């Protein structure tokens, strides 16, 4: 017969040791803490999105609508100031509301919101052996005068150029993500994992590559480099440790055009404007070696889509994650002064905790893609809403919209794109 007190002491000691080890394992990522956390997260993901993963309903791409209880598609758009918007057609990228056509789509619509052309974006045709399309996100998009598009996917493995029918012209395999920007020489700039790449639009071949950690962070000072700006724990890199779980999250790169260069005397034409979401950093770097021209951390939080402007300022989409209220901000790199271009209010809320794009328009208005509510809207210079449109899935939910962009009516060389095989 076991003695009760020694046995109880043994059980208590074992429990104490197990608890202590559990605390240490969680703190330092020791077995089995990461495995347990991963299993719990996977279980939650499967529970929330099993319908998406089995191709029943794209729940990973559905978000709460701003205006719920809608009876039908006719209620997806509201014109607050009819005819008051800036001229031009609008390109809208995101999930295709017609899932029988394609999982993703880019739509060309007129000033009244009427669709004039749709590019079906069929990820499974670009990467037949890859991730299922419902587990990728169409994010980067750039249009060409011949009616073709270049597209990139978060969670995907391709950068691709497609024609007006959505058929691939070329496919470049790799983890390209977020934005795509066209330089004045026609070349494309985008991110491939942690590397900035310049891409030949005719072939998809890489013309130049600049790695964020091994080249950009190491540029500048011959001893210390630029790790104080571009790294979270610079000493960890010197110790040979690797970052994990996307600690920087690059989400934009854009070259400065020669037409705007005179407005930015501290920069040179071709310099690259980049955004690193997780460290709230917007910076301008030399495109050849990554040497820093200018950088600013905040006051924005988890920002997206910084753009050079003709007046010598930079505008950006400040997600302000966790605040419930996003903003479009303007920063002057000559003074670091920051001002607000647009923010919502109680009557017209505006918030996307992640993703989001903006475009400054002639006259001072803004076109905004409020991604996490599946809404695009245009404002006037006085911040009043001109129109708003939701990518309606059902009465209560919208599909995510990753980008909206105005283009001139004469943008396409042969007129409005068409697909002879379909139209």
pLDDT, tens only, 112-143: 999 999 999 999 999 999 999 999 999 999 99
**Alpha carbons 342 and 337: distance in angstroms, whole number:** 16
* β-bridge partners, 105: 94, 120
**Alpha carbons 390 and 74: distance in angstroms, whole number:** 11
Question: What local confidence, expressed as pLDDT, does residue 4 receive?
Answer: 64
CA 237 → CA 68, 196, 224, 225, 383, distances in Å?
Answer: 49, 20, 12, 12, 45
- Which stretch of 11-15, 117-121, 372-376 has the lowest confidence by average pLDDT? 11-15
What is the rounded average pLDDT for all residues in the chain?
90
Q: What is the mean pLDDT of residues 384-400?
A: 97
**Alpha carbons 88 and 81: distance in angstroms, whole number:** 16
**Alpha carbons 274 and 268: distance in angstroms, whole number:** 15
Look at residues 264, 303, 258 and name the one whose alpha carbon lies nearest to residue 284.
Answer: 264
Question: What local confidence, expressed as pLDDT, does residue 250 receive?
Answer: 97
> Is the whole model's pTM more than 0.75, yes or no?
yes
Domains of the chain: 1-49 (no CATH), 78-407 (2.130.10.10)
pLDDT in tens, 16-69: 775 666 566 556 666 665 666 555 655 666 677 888 888 889 999 999 999 999
Q: Are 263 and 257 contacting, i.e. CB atoms less than 8 angstroms apart?
A: no
Question: What local confidence, expressed as pLDDT, does residue 17 receive?
Answer: 73
Q: What is the percentage of the chain residues whose pLDDT exceeds 90? A: 77
Question: What local confidence, expressed as pLDDT, does residue 53 receive?
Answer: 82
Question: What local confidence, expressed as pLDDT, does residue 24 receive?
Answer: 61
pLDDT level of residue 391 (50, 70, 90 thresholds): very high
């Amino acid at each position: 017969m076991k003695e009760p007190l020694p046995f109880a002491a043994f059980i208590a000691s074992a429990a104490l040791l197990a608890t202590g080890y559990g605390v240490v394992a969680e703190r330092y990522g020791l077995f089995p803490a990461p495995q347990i956390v991963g299993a719990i997260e996977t279980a939650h993901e499967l529970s929330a999105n099993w319908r998406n993963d089995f191709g029943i309903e794209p729940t990973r791409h559905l978000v709460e609508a701003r205006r719920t209880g809608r009876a039908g598609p006719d209620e997806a758009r509201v014109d607050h100031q009819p005819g008051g918007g800036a001229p031009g057609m609008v390109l809208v990228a995101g999930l295709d509301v017609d899932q029988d056509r394609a999982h993703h789509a880019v739509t060309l619509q007129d000033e009244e919101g009427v669709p004039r052309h749709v590019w079906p974006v069929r990820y499974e045709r670009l990467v037949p052996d890859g991730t299922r399309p419902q587990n990728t996100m169409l994010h980067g998009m750039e249009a060409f005068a011949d009616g073709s598009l270049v597209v990139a996917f978060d969670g995907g493995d391709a950068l691709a150029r497609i024609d007006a029918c959505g058929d691939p012209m070329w496919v470049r395999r790799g983890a390209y993500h977020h934005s795509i920007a066209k330089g004045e020489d026609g070349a494309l700039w985008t991110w491939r994992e942690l590397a900035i790449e310049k891409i030949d639009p005719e072939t998809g071949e890489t013309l130049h590559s600049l790695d964020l950690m091994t080249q950009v962070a190491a540029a500048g000072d011959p001893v210390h480099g630029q790790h104080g700006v571009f790294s979270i724990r610079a000493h960890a890199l010197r110790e040979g440790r690797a970052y994990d779980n996307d600690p920087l999250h690059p989400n934009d790169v854009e070259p400065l055009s020669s037409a705007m260069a005179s407005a930015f005397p501290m920069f040179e034409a071709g310099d690259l404007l980049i955004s690193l979401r997780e460290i709230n950093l917007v910076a301008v770097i030399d495109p050849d070696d990554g040497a820093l021209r200018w950088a600013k951390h905040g006051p924005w939080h988890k920002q997206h889509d910084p753009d050079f402007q003709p007046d010598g300022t930079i505008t950006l989409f400040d997600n302000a994650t966790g605040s419930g209220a996003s903003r479009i901000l303007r920063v002057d790199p000559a003074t670091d002064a920051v001002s607000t271009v647009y923010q919502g209010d109680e009557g017209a809320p505006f918030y996307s905790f992640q993703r989001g794009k903006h475009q400054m328009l002639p006259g001072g208005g803004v076109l905004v893609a409020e991604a996490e509510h599946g809404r695009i809207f245009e404002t006037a210079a006085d911040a009043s809403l001109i129109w708003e449109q939701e990518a309606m899935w059902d009465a209560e939910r919208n599909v995510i919209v990753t980008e909206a962009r105005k283009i001139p009516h004469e943008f396409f060389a042969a007129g409005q794109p068409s697909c002879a095989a379909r139209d």
